[in-house]
Amino acid sequence: MKWLALFFFGVIFSGGIFVSHAQAQSARQTQTFDTSAGVVKITPVYHASLLIEAGGKNIYVDPAKPANFSGLPPADLILITDIHGDHMDPGSISQISKSGTEIMAPPAVVKTVAAAQSISNGETKTWNDWTIEAIPMYNIQRGPSPGQFYHTKGRGNGYVLTYGGRRFYFSGDTENIPEMRALKNIYVAFVCMNLPYTMPPDEAAQAVKAFHPQIVIPYHYRGSDLNVFKNDLQGTGIEVRLLDWYPKSD
Ligand SMILES: [Zn+2]
C-alpha cells in the first residue's frame, strides 16, 4: 500500500510539473460579471494592466511592463489611457497583438502608438457589442512642482465600457474630479489610488461614494493602504473587492 501511495503521489507531483503553466494562469484572480449579453470576465494582470473577455473578444487596458501575459489570449482591442510607461508600452502592445488587433488611445498616445485610433475626452465609439466612452482623468492639485500636474486635463482618458447593459469604469490616473463624481449607473469601477501621482485612498473613497458603483475594485494602488479605502466605504452598500495587482513573477 505504501508503494502504491508513493506511486500516486509521484503521478500527482509530476502532473503538477506538467500543469505548472496552467496553474500559473489559474492563480490569476479573474472576476466574472453577468450582463444581459452574457458573462464579462476581467483579469488583473499588473498595476493598471488588465484583460476583459466577453463574447469571444479580448480587450486589454494599458498592457505594460512588467506585466506577465503568458497564457493570456491575444488582443482584439487595446485601450490605452495615457503616455506614462505604466500605461503606454509599445513592447507590451506588440507582445499581445495579432493581425487585426485594434488600438484606441487619446491623441497624446497616438503620437507614439501610431497604429491607434484617436479617442478624446467626451467621445464615444462603438466596437463590436461594446460602447466605449472616453472620460477625463487628471490632477487637480498634485504635480512635480507648483503649478504643474502629473496628468494635465484633456491628455489622458479614463474609460466607461458598456456591454449587455452593464457599465464598467476604468479611472486611469486621476484625482477626485467632478467628471468622476458625476458618473451614473456604474456597475463595476476600477479606481486608482497612489501618491504622489493620483490620490490617497481616502480621497478615492470620497469620489467613489459620490458616483456609487455597485462594486469597486482598487487598481493602480502601489504603496497605498487599501484598508483605509475599504473602511471608508463600510456601510455604503458598495462592494469593495481587493485583488492582488502586484503578483510576483513566476
Ligand atoms: Zn500610472
Grid coordinates given for 83:
503616455
Return d(Cα 196, Cα 142) in angstroms, integer: 7
How large is the average pLDDT for residues 140-147?
94
Determine the distance separating the centroid of ligand 1 and the alpha carbon of 25, expressed in angstroms. Answer: 25
Determine the distance separating the centroid of ligand 1 and the alpha carbon of 209, expressed in angstroms. Answer: 22
Q: What residue type is assigned to position 206 of the chain?
A: Q
| pLDDT for 190 | 98
pLDDT for 185-236, tens place per residue?
999 999 999 999 999 999 999 999 999 999 999 999 999 999 999 999 999 9
Q: What are phi and psi of 33, to 5 degrees?
A: -125, 135
| pLDDT for 13 | 42
Determine the distance separating the centroid of ligand 1 and the alpha carbon of 137, expressed in angstroms. Answer: 11
Model pTM score = 0.89
Closest Cα partner for 135 from 65, 84, 186?
Answer: 186
Return d(Cα 130, Cα 112) in angstroms, integer: 25
| pLDDT for 10 | 42
Neighbours of ion ligand 1 (CB under 5 A): 86, 173
pLDDT(76) > 50:
yes
| pLDDT for 248 | 82
Return d(Cα 233, Cα 242) in angstroms, integer: 13
Q: Rounded to the nearest 10 degrees, how much is the dihedral formed by the CA atoms of 64, 69, 74, 78? A: -20
Return d(Cα 186, Cα 212) in angstroms, integer: 7
β 102-105/117-118 pair status? parallel
| pLDDT for 27 | 84
- Other Cβ atoms within 10 Å of 167 Cβ, number: 20
| pLDDT for 9 | 45
Question: Residue 227 class from Cβ within 10 Å (0-12 exposed, 13-18 middle, 19+ buried)?
Answer: exposed
Please, what sign has the CA dihedral across residues 116, 119, 120, 121?
A: negative
pLDDT(137) > 70:
yes
Determine the distance separating the centroid of ligand 1 and the alpha carbon of 171, expressed in angstroms. Answer: 10
Determine the distance separating the centroid of ligand 1 and the alpha carbon of 14, expressed in angstroms. Answer: 41
Return d(Cα 248, Cα 229) in angstroms, integer: 23
Q: Please answer whether residues 121 and 157 qualify as being in contact, where contact means their C-beta atoms are separated by less than 8 angstroms.
A: yes
DSSP state of 193: -
Q: Which ranges in the chain belong to alpha helices (H)?
A: 2-18, 20-26, 90-96, 107-110, 178-181, 201-211, 226-232
